[in-house]
Structure 1
Amino acid sequence: MSVLVTGGAGYIGSHMVLELLDRGEDVIVIDNLLTGNEWAVPDRARFYRADIADAAALDAIFATHEIDAIIHFAGLIIVPDSVEKPLDYYHENTCKSRYLIQRALEAKVESFIFSSSAAVYGAPGLEPVTESAPFAPESPYGSSKLMTEWMLRDVAAACSGFRFAALRYFNVAGADPGMRAGQSSRRSTHLIKIAAEAATGKRDGLQIFGNDFETPDGTCVRDYIHVTDLARAHYCALSYLRDGGPSVAANCGYGSGYSVRQVVDAVKAVSGVDFRVNEAPRRPGDAAMIVADSTFARQTLGWTPELDDLETIIRHALKWEGRLGNRTGGQPGD
């Protein structure tokens, strides 16, 4: 049997592909390369350059490969963009997911793992967020993710042979420890990626958006998770579903928060570069603080994080950024 990874040429998707291949899985990747890079897909994975709503491409994939699971990463992820262009996000993240789910049912795919987000919770407060927290997304991005979760919930209730896991994660950062993959987006809003670019001279500094949040130092606080730990959480979810576990939604984070200022200072300390930092107004859709309670994922999915250390995350991000150089399209050097 094979695993279909949507968005497998992107940041998190490419790490998922590596995790699956390392586990001996047969992997199929579909990606339209809007934000992903074909070079990020290992040769051992079979690659289809197509959109997840491309009927002909999906027909070819399901006709050619026996797929028992889909891990769905494809979509748009920039929160401020979603505020400016909400219909784009509902179309790409919700409508196209609906089509993919329908095709999965027709192909009798039994396990569906969805890349969701802590954005479904909005701004719940200062305490670590559990899965029982009320949904209150503050951006169309968060709403688009929540709507897809609801579709999966309702489909699983109606179709006994279909089960899903929705993994709600917080701020993903870092790179594969072996430097086989990393954050290579042409346009990124991820803080650690931007700070790594500033530390390696690819930009002349960075901006801190908002200094008047109700947090200890006035800047946003987030739970940063290493991308490799996140990929392993998805594999744990896959194993859980294959073993017959019921549908679940689970948080993926470390349970510790760092402010924007703390992260910037840590990148400066690890890199040894004192790059320029400016302050700017808040961005629309940004919550003040959100930190995960991942007890459920650890106990139910059997997930054990191995890279829970901000300095390690930053060190891997900086090393990857150095490998990327200034190549067009972000392709790393030898």
Structure 2
Amino acid sequence: MPDNTNVLIVGGAGYIGSHTTLALADAGFTTTVYDNFSGGHRDACFGDALVEGDLADTALLTQTLQARGIGTVIHFAALIEAGQSVITPLPFYENNVAGTLSLLQAMNAAGVHKLVFSSTAAVYGNSVDRPLLHETLPRAPINPYGDSKAMVETILESCVAAYGLQAIALRYFNASGADAAGRSGERHDPETHLIPLVIEAAQGKRDAIHIYGTDYDTPDGTCVRDYVHVSDLAAGHVAAVRHLAQAPAPAFTPINLGTGTGLSVRQIVDAVQRISGRAFRVVESGRRPGDPASLVADPAAARDVLGWAAKHSDIDTIVTDAWHYAQARG
């Protein structure tokens, strides 16, 4: 029988997945990591068990769910780089949409109906005219990455009545920082996220950091994002798993994980220079395709539904933890 304290973490060897596995273990859950290591790292697997497999392998997913007595699934396994999705969209739809269909088929076959889905603020598209993005806004993505996540949310909604699915879609804003104890951190290959790129410039691993677009309709002309410490995101997943364990009926619930405060690219660059104590070259370039001007969360639903609020997401804590992690790795 499925056990709600047994959690399958699909993509658990990745950045947010590894931190969530640590947080679940600290909270007393039994965890199984399922990953194909296309983007994750073996030394970032902190689960009680590891199954190496692909998201498209419905049979292996079904077997894993049944053999491990899984009661709840957290689904992180996705291609995430918005700019690349504009250039090569098909892999994003194949992995993010078709791969999720494979997982849902396995869950249905195994009688597992509780899912925490890793969604994104990119489903909102370019909403700079709105100071805070609320879950009731229509989905209006402007790149294939956001489109793929919006498609999955639509699929999850349709599975509620048909299959009894209980799903929470956690719409992340910008994941950032690292585990304060140094156990895990951000290390994509290639790296595309702003804070680790700026840190690489501070370390001398890059000859410059590029600011893509200085003419957006934002206070300083550069893109504004809501940065959330990865340990806060991990805590949000623990809260979502606990909520689903007590959920009385099938439902689909989208919930923002954000702080309600936006920071610009220039502010991030300045913070890294200040905290690292190192100067580096900054190059202003043109806009990239698919970049919204501003994405900042209304975090009220996370507070009201999950009892969650960011505790470690001030910019100094984020950059300090990321800097220490990067320096320890050399």
Local SS of the residue matching 2:308: coil
C-alpha contact 1:124 1:133 (8 A) present in aligned 2:
no
Q: Distance in 1 between matches of 2:168 and 2:260?
A: 20
Pairwise CA distance, 1:56: 4.1
Pairwise CA distance, 1:247: 3.0
Matched, 1:308 2:310: no
Matched, 1:128 2:102: no
Tell me what 1:144 maps to: 148
Q: Distance in 2 between matches of 1:123 and 1:86?
A: 19
Pairwise CA distance, 1:55: 3.2
Distance change >3 Å, CA 132–CA 59, structure 1 → 2: closer
Distance change >3 Å, CA 247–CA 59, structure 1 → 2: closer
Matched, 1:288 2:288: no
Tell me what 1:329 maps to: none
Matched, 1:299 2:304: yes
Q: Distance in 1 between matches of 2:236 and 2:312?
A: 12
- Matched letter for residue 86 of structure 2: V
Give a deviation string over 1:188-233, Cα, whole Å, max 9, x none.
Answer: 2111111111112222221000111111111000000000000111
Tell me what 1:190 maps to: 193
Pairwise CA distance, 1:23: 1.0
C-alpha contact 2:62 2:107 (8 A) present in aligned 1:
no
- Matched letter for residue 66 of structure 1: G
Structure 2 counterparts to residues 104-183 of structure 1, below 5 A: 104-125=107-128, 126-160=130-164, 162-183=165-186
Runs of 4+ aligned residues of structure 1 deviating over 4 Å after TM superposition are none
- Choose which of 252, 255, 271 in structure 2 pairs with 1:250: 255
Q: Distance in 1 between matches of 2:282 and 2:55?
A: 39
TM-score by length of 2: 0.95
C-alpha contact 1:219 1:260 (8 A) present in aligned 2:
yes
Local SS of the residue matching 1:75: coil
Q: Which runs of 5+ in 1 are unaligned?
A: 326-334
* CA RMSD in angstroms, aligned pairs only: 1.2
C-alpha contact 2:218 2:293 (8 A) present in aligned 1:
yes
Give a deviation string over 1:248-287, Cα, whole Å, max 9, x none.
Answer: 1101100000110011001101111111111111111000
Give a deviation string over 1:77-105, Cα, whole Å, max 9, x none.
Answer: 00111001111110010011011011111
Tell me what 1:277 maps to: 282
Pairwise CA distance, 1:308: 2.7
- Matched letter for residue 67 of structure 2: T
Pairwise CA distance, 1:187: 1.2
- Choose which of 180, 203, 208 in structure 2 pairs with 1:200: 203
C-alpha contact 2:223 2:294 (8 A) present in aligned 1:
yes
Q: Identity of paired residues, percent?
A: 45
Local SS of the residue matching 2:13: coil
- Matched letter for residue 32 of structure 1: N
Tell me what 1:210 maps to: 213
C-alpha contact 1:48 1:57 (8 A) present in aligned 2:
no
- Choose which of 8, 25, 29 in structure 1 pairs with 2:29: 25
Local SS of the residue matching 2:66: helix
TM-score by length of 1: 0.94
Give a deviation string over 1:1-48, Cα, whole Å, max 9, x none.
Answer: 310001111101100111111111111111111111111112x52111
Structure 2 counterparts to residues 314-325 of structure 1, below 5 A: 314-325=319-330
Q: Distance in 2 between matches of 1:247 and 1:111?
A: 10
Local SS of the residue matching 2:188: coil
- Matched letter for residue 90 of structure 2: L
